[in-house]
Chains A and B, each alone.
Chain A
Amino acid sequence: MIPIRLIPMTGGQAAVEALRQINPAVFAAYPITPQTPIIEGFAKLVASGKVTTEFLPVESEHSAMSAVIGAAVMGVRAMTATSSQGLMLMSEILSVASGLRLPILMNVAARAISAPINIHCDHSDVMNVAGVGWLQFFSENPQEVYDLNFIALKVAESINTPAMVIQDGFVTSHSLELLETLPDDKISKFVGNYTSKINPLDFNEPKTIGPLVLPDYFMEVKKAQINDFDLALEAFRLESEAYFKISGRMIKTIEEFHTEGSESAIVCLGSTAGTIKHYIKNEPEKGYSLIKIVSYRPFDYSGLAKLLKKYQKVIVLERAPTYGATGFLTQEVYAALRLLKEQKDVKTYVYGLGGANFGLSDVSEILNDS
């Protein structure tokens, strides 16, 4: 029997601990608001020599992602972290990272975007960059932040595509919870050494990275990127299984928390899943089940369709506003339901914008209304 080491950590600290164990070659970040505690914690590790990472404090998130791309192009592990307006400013460069096929890892504390100025949790920032070719994994709590960092890194490297590990701003990033970390040697064996497929410094074969590609080849390059992205779900399953073997914790692309005989499912992302689980445990007789989406990009449509089959009613919780359109997560639920060719009663509730509190009484208010 191996003793389990439970330590209290915030989501931010959990990400820092994972990054310490990964020990990336380069970490570039903008060190002022809207930052997360992640870079503060990681900078301390660099300063105290606990990692061998080159830390680049840059003048903006646009520069942070540019610097990380520059490093990743040279074939090393390069990472950053950001939040809210930082992710918005970075967004132009995000598609460069994915288009150049660089497996960059980024921790994001999901927070509202201006205006009005806010800083608290919702999913507006990450939803607005869901279409730039990055993997997006949502974590429920600090434990999942820690675990998903390793899985995301391995998935990203296996398909040459960058990944975001998303945690809820403040709710997860600043809240202490007990979690189990793994010994350094197990993690370093799991993540292994990274070698990029292309050697950019091969003097016998110099290369041009990021050339102009006109209509003759542009679609071919994009198609290859889409095809590789389609491999991500399978890669996630493989890496997650490998991680299960060392951790005993299984993370699926979609997690179901089923109540016997239940006919209604609540679909949500991130920390809210914890609140809903608590509600369901307290009131099992109400007959609700939870479906938590972990992998938002890629979205596991057939996986969700299979789980939704047994429910009559689907309640979708959205933590981001949409204007004149169906909610982000609701669109995906509809797309999944289309595979079933069955009518279901779908209801959407927008909640918790800009850090608006979402507790058990709010859950029961929603369920009474639905």
Chain B
Amino acid sequence: MTIQESIKNGATISPGGNSKDNKTGSWRQGQRPKWNKEKCLNCGVCFHFCPEEAIIFKDGKMVGIDYTYCKGCGICAHECPRKAIEMVKED
């Protein structure tokens, strides 16, 4: 679809799945979550609570945090039952 077609059709755009283009990591206000691998049990609570899917899981195990999309809301740190995630000052 061209931009003109999108404008005429209530802002419908192609392709789909383009919310990825909105790199929400820039929204962080000075704090970011820091993951402590030693304390982590890979329970996945942070993964399910994260509103941005910024917790990266591979083969059932947590591998890190995607700072491109993490908004720094701190929900993961709040929910982690092992306190394996803490909010730290942005570098």
Residues of A within 8 A of B (CB): 99-102, 160, 197-198, 205-213, 217, 220-221, 224-225, 228
Q: Is the CB of B15 within 8 A of A206?
A: yes
Determine whether B12 belongs to the interface, using a CB cutoff of 8 Å to chain A: yes
Contact B7 A207 (CB under 8 A): no
Residue of B nearest to A101 (CB): B10
Beyond known contacts A217-B11, A221-B7, A221-B11: 6 more, CB 8 A cutoff: A100-B12, A102-B10, A208-B13, A208-B16, A208-B19, A211-B13
User: In the complex, what residues of A have CB within 8 A of residue B7's CB?
Assistant: 217, 220-221, 224
Please, what's the 1-or-0 string for B1-45, where 1 marks a CB less than 8 Å from any CB in chain A? Answer: 101001111111111111100100000000000000000000000
Contact status A224-B8, CB under 8 Å: yes
Given the complex, which residues of A lie within 8 Å of B16, measured CB to CB? Answer: 206-208
What is the minimal beta-carbon distance from B17 to any residue of chain A, in angstroms? 7
Q: Closest B residue to A218 by CB, please name it.
A: B11
The answer for the CA separation of A198 and B13 in the assembled complex, in Å, is 10
A contact residues around B19 at 8 Å (CB) = 208, 211-212
Q: How far is the CA of A212 from the CA of B13 in the complex (A)?
A: 11
Listed in ascending order, the chain B residues whose CB lies under 8 Å from chain A are: 1, 3, 6-19, 22
Chain A positions within 8 Å of B12 at CB level: 100, 198, 207-211
CB distance from B8 to the nearest CB of A (A): 5
Task: Give the number of A-B contacts (CB < 8 Å).
Answer: 59
Q: List 29 A-B contacts (CB under 8 A).
A: A99-B11, A100-B12, A101-B8, A102-B10, A160-B10, A198-B9, A205-B1, A206-B15, A206-B16, A207-B1, A207-B13, A208-B12, A208-B13, A208-B14, A208-B16, A208-B17, A208-B19, A209-B10, A209-B12, A210-B12, A211-B19, A212-B19, A212-B22, A217-B7, A217-B11, A220-B7, A221-B11, A224-B7, A225-B10
Residues of B within 8 A of A100 (CB): 10, 12
State the main secondary structure of chain A at its contact with B: loop
A202 to chain B, nearest CB (A): 9
Q: How far is the CA of A208 from the CA of B19 in the complex (A)?
A: 9
- How far, in whole Å, are A225 and B6 apart by their CA atoms in the complex? 12
**Distance (whole angstroms) from the CB of B28 to the closest CB of chain A:** 19
Complex: A211 Cα to B46 Cα, angstroms:
27
Partner of A205, one of B9, B10, B14, B17: B14
From A73, which residue of chain B is reached at the shortest CB distance?
A: B12
User: Which of the residues B3, B8, B18 comes within 8 Å of A208, measured between beta carbons?
Assistant: B18
Closest 10 CB pairs of A and B: A206-B16, A101-B10, A100-B10, A207-B14, A221-B11, A224-B7, A220-B7, A213-B11, A205-B14, A209-B12
> Inside 8 A of B9's CB, which chain A residues have their CB?
101, 160, 197-198
Q: Which residues of chain A are near B6, meaning CB under 8 Å? A: 221
A212 to B11, CA, bound (A): 9
Q: Contacts A101-B10, A160-B9 given: A211-B1 contact, CB under 8 Å?
A: no
* Distance, CA A228 to CA B13, complexed state (A): 19
- Report whether B1 and A99 are in contact in the complex, using a CB–CB cutoff of 8 Å: no
* A218 → chain B closest CB, angstroms: 9
Q: Is the CB of B17 within 8 A of A206?
A: yes
Enumerate chain A residues within 8 angstroms of B11, measured Cβ to Cβ: 99, 210-211, 213, 217, 221
Contacts of B10 in A (CB 8 A): 99-102, 160, 209-210, 221, 225
B29 smallest CB distance to A (angstroms) = 20
The reply to whether B15 and A205 contact each other, CB–CB distance below 8 Å, is yes
A193 to B9, CA, bound (A): 20
B15 to chain A, nearest CB (A): 5
B11 CB, min distance to chain A CBs, angstroms: 5
Closest residue of chain B to A219 (Cβ to Cβ) is B7
- B42 CB to closest chain A CB (Å) equals 33
Looking at the assembled complex, report how far the CB atom of A235 sits from the nearest CB atom of chain B, in whole angstroms: 16
Could you tell me if B22 and A208 are in contact, using CB atoms closer than 8 angstroms? no
Chain B residues closer than 8 Å to A207, beta-carbon distance: 1, 12-16
